[in-house]
Amino acid sequence: QLEPDPWELFTEKYSPGDRIEGKIRSITDYGVFVGIEDGVDGMVHKTDLSWTIRLNNPADMYSKGNTLQAIILSINHDEKKVSLGVKQLFDDPWPTLLSEFPIGSEVDEAEVVAQCEYGAFFKLRDGVEGIVPNSDLVEPEGGLKRGMKCKVEVSSVDTLDRRLYLNMRNIGADKAGAAQRQRQAQKQLESATPGTIGDLIKEKLGGKLGMQSEDEEGGEEATESED
């Protein structure tokens, strides 16, 4: 008796838009592979991990074996590939980000979610993360640990690249500068429709927005990063 095809079982059970939960099976420099069902993995491209930070290496924040929730974005039946998204679990925060977290505002209990060679990532709330660059980082005795709560300040916002920058050093020392940066960021955000922002990013990247190389789509041959 032939064993049932795992792909057929998967497609009978799941559709785009469904929420899944699975173990991270491997991590590459372009995404995270998650086990959905026996014999079927899905990939979260690194651009679909967060609304407010850009991960050069997903292994900075995720580890093999971690449990991850995601949304099924698409199912490619011909190539038997599943595209997943983590940030899509939450609404896009950018339309109201500057009113919710104005530049210069303080967050008393930002949670450490990861640390890498160029800084530390903090979660301000579900769906909103920011980075404290090393130059603005103040580590407590014993160092930062995942899950630790720290006080941070929203220092700047890159509306083009959609990045949120935080500060732990001299919090509240530059109120006038923060107010000016807030006005500038708000003006940029209001003058750019979602389409305009996408066009600007596409132009900045040389027209390669959203395009993956054959190696990136190959998954099978990609080098795994195991933490």
Q: What is the model's pLDDT at position 222?
A: 38
Q: What percent of the chain has pLDDT over 70?
A: 84
Confidence of residue 192 (pLDDT cuts 50, 70, 90): low
**What's the mean pLDDT in 77-95?**
96
Residue 201 CB-density burial (10 A; 0-12 exposed, 13-18 middle, 19+ buried) = middle
Report CA-CA distances (Å) from 210 to 30, 48, 197, 207: 12, 11, 14, 9
Given a contact cutoff of 8 angstroms between Cβ atoms, the answer to whether 185 and 155 are in contact is no
Q: What is the model's pLDDT at position 160?
A: 84
Lowest mean pLDDT among 9-18, 99-108, 169-178, 191-200: 191-200
pLDDT above 90 (res 27): yes
pLDDT above 90 (res 196): no
Highest mean pLDDT, choosing among 52-56, 65-69, 169-173: 65-69
Residues 94-204, CATH architecture = Beta Barrel (2.40)
**What's the mean pLDDT in 187-215?**
49
Supply the pTM of this predicted model: 0.77
Q: How many Å separate Cα 18 from the centre of its chain?
A: 19
**Strands of 28-116, DSSP E:** 31-37, 40-45, 67-76, 81-85, 106-116
Instruction: Name 166's bridge partners.
Output: 154
Confidence of residue 140 (pLDDT cuts 50, 70, 90): confident
Q: What percent of the chain has pLDDT over 90?
A: 65
Q: Nearest CA to 162 among 135, 132, 140, 129?
A: 129
**What's the mean pLDDT in 153-167?**
92
Domain segments of the chain as ranges: 6-89, 94-204
Given a contact cutoff of 8 angstroms between Cβ atoms, the answer to whether 37 and 10 are in contact is yes
How far apart (Å, rounded) are the C-alpha atoms in residues 68 and 21?
Answer: 6
Residues 6 or more apart in contact with residue 156 via CB below 8 angstroms: 103, 165, 181, 185
**What's the mean pLDDT in 7-11?**
95
**What's the mean pLDDT in 165-181?**
89
Q: Indicate the residue type of 142.
A: G
Fold match between 6-89 and 94-204? yes
pLDDT above 70 (res 212): no
How far apart (Å, rounded) are the C-alpha atoms in residues 61 and 142?
Answer: 20
pLDDT above 90 (res 175): no
Run of H or E including 68: strand 67-76
The class level of CATH for 6-89 reads mainly beta
Q: What is the model's pLDDT at position 202?
A: 44
